[in-house]
Structure 1
């Protein structure tokens, strides 16, 4: 019973941090890219705007960043904040950057090549 309770408590902690808001005043480019609808270009624009103009006073100030309008802001509103610790996972954990290519491809049978019959191996007599 104690193990089940401990597992439940750990699960609740993990879920709580997964839904925590990203602080747009402290998040780095990777953390910003983890947000839905924010790619590398918009994340870089947010970081550059913040460096030039100082911290955002409210979430609505994000509309001042080039490429972010009312629709984008409304999508992000529940995921971002201007205070507290940023707890977003790096984008690599959230979204795969690119599909990994297989190291080797399976060899295709050559036309006209004989196929080995799947005969059971002969038993050796001892």
Structure 2
């Protein structure tokens, strides 16, 4: 009985972590090739369509674009605070100019 109770508690505690891992990519986009034009997209569109980019980073991309003009290359995104090489590589196939 104690083993069953411990197992149930473990499952209840760990379920939010497994749900969080599954929710990183929106299932409604599964199987669809996603691309986003970083020179035209809104912050919300960037947050929705780029992996690992939340609204705060997406707003930083839009702000950088408004201050410095359109991105001339995908690699220029690393100039945006919070966007590093790893994040850029994870999304390289999705980013269009």
Q: Does residue 40 of the first structure (1) align with residue 55 of the second (2)?
A: yes
Unpaired runs of 5+ residues, structure 2, are 1-28
How many residues align? The count is 66
- 1:24 aligns with 38
Give runs of ≥4 in structure 1 deviating > 2 Å: none
Matched residues in 1 for 2:40 and 2:90: separation? 20
| TM-score, with structure 2 as normaliser | 0.65
| TM-score, with structure 1 as normaliser | 0.50
1 or 2, which has the higher helix percentage?
2
Matches within 5 A, 1:1-126: 18-34=32-48, 35-82=50-97
Matched residues in 2 for 1:21 and 1:32: separation? 10
Matched residues in 2 for 1:60 and 1:45: separation? 16
Matched residues in 2 for 1:22 and 1:29: separation? 11
Alignment RMSD (CA, Å): 1.3
- The structure with more radius of gyration: 1
Q: Which has the higher contact order (CA 8 A, sep 6+)?
A: 1
Matched residues in 2 for 1:19 and 1:26: separation? 18
Unpaired runs of 5+ residues, structure 1, are 1-14, 83-126
